[in-house]
């Protein structure tokens, strides 16, 4: 009689990564690009540089006329490089211009007093938008011979101003793309998910 020790014992096979198709490799590169964009947005949100100045730019409606003149800086020197220009300087890389007459909390916006990113965000508005239960509004109104963009958020009282996000760009992004677009928690979760997908794809790409 055969002894039980003579029976073949099944040996579990190691997990073998499934080779990826070329489409999956392309998807990996897309995910890496998206991850870098999200990381950049997170860094921008967590940065406090010039945030106070940007808040004044948009939310101090009651005292804006006097405050903005002292807080904002003009940029008459085209070779100047600063917060209101691209890193290359105005001479090498001029800022974009506003596509429409634009007003934020009743204050007319001017290119020399805006960063390139702020101008790009203002120019992304093509239709009316609302956020925060319609408390925030962006709408086009006929003004003179042109359609003007009017963006309004509650900013009459001190408490209202303190409840707003730290920066004009965050307000514009939320109106354009929704609250998750400016929520660090949501962005962090998305980054973590992308990192896991990239790690999985990289481990499988190596077998192709």
Instruction: Give the tens place of pLDDT for each residue, 33-89.
Output: 777 766 666 666 555 444 434 544 554 443 444 344 444 445 555 555 677 888 888
Delimit the domains of the chain by residue range: 48-179
Q: How confident is the model at residue 199 (pLDDT cuts 50, 70, 90)?
A: confident
pLDDT of the residue at 41: 66
pLDDT of the residue at 141: 93
Residue with tokens 């070779």: 79
Q: How confident is the model at residue 162 (pLDDT cuts 50, 70, 90)?
A: very high
pTM of the model: 0.53
How far apart are alpha carbons 105 and 151 in whole angstroms? 6
On average, the pLDDT of the chain sits at 74
State whether the Cα torsion 99-104-106-110 is positive or negative. negative
């Amino acid at each position: 009689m055969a002894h039980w020790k003579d029976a073949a014992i099944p040996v579990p096979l190691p997990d073998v990564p499934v080779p990826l198709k070329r489409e999956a490799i392309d998807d990996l590169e897309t995910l890496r690009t998206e991850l870098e964009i999200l990381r950049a947005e997170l860094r921008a949100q967590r940065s406090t540089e010039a945030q106070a100045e940007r808040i004044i730019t948009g939310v101090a409606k009651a005292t804006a006329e006097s405050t903005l003149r002292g807080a904002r800086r003009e940029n008459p020197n085209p070779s100047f490089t600063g917060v209101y220009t691209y890193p290359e300087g105005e001479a090498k890389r001029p800022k974009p211009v506003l596509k429409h007459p634009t007003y934020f909390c009743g204050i007319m916006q001017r290119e020399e007093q805006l960063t390139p990113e702020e101008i790009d965000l203002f120019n992304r508005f093509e239709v009316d938008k609302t956020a925060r239960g319609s408390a925030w509004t962006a709408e086009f109104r006929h003004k003179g011979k042109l359609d003007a963009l009017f963006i309004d958020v509650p900013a009459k009282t001190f408490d209202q101003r303190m409840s707003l996000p730290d920066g004009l760009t965050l307000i514009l992004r939320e109106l354009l793309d929704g609250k998750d677009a400016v929520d660090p928690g949501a962005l962090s979760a998305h980054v973590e998910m992308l990192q896991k997908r990239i790690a999985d794809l990289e481990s499988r790409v190596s077998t192709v």
